[in-house]
């Protein structure tokens, strides 16, 4: 279980989107969950991206300055990966068959 940095809800990791600050100081959505760097988790919901922006939740979680433009970019990136994310979240824990 991990906590969404925006709404503070505890959720299964697969139901959260990982945002990572890479060693190159880039802030990206990490769909693999394996990129190196400091990570923060957000619910896979557009409203939590908005909430995070309002509360500057990623600034705190990633210990970096995250400008409003970066929040906007992440929200747009999230829209692009949303289908993939929802499909992965719906798969369930067992991975027999497919």
Given a contact cutoff of 8 angstroms between Cβ atoms, the answer to whether 28 and 44 are in contact is no
Among 19, 29, 40, 43, binds Zn ion (CB under 5 A): 43
Contact region with Zn ion (CB under 5 A), list: 4-12, 22-30, 61-69, 70-78: 4-12
Applying CB under 5 A, the span of 5-13, 20-28, 69-77, 86-94 interacting with Zn ion comes to 5-13
* 3-state DSSP assignment of residue 19: strand
61 contacts Zn ion (rule: CB under 5 A): no
What is the Cα gyration radius of the chain? 13
**Nearest-10 crossing angle of helices 46-55, 68-90:** 150
48: contact with Zn ion by CB under 5 A? yes
Residue 7 as a binder of Zn ion (CB under 5 A): the answer is yes
């Amino acid at each position: 279980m991990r906590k969404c940095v925006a709404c503070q809800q505890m959720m299964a990791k697969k139901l959260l989107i990982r945002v990572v600050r890479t060693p190159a100081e880039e802030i990206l959505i990490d769909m693999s969950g394996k990129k190196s760097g400091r990570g923060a988790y957000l619910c896979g919901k557009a409203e939590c991206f908005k909430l995070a922006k309002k509360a500057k939740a990623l600034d705190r979680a990633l210990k970096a300055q995250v400008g409003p433009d970066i929040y906007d970019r992440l929200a747009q990136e999230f829209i692009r990966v949303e289908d993939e994310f929802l499909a992965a979240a719906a798969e369930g824990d067992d991975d027999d068959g497919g």
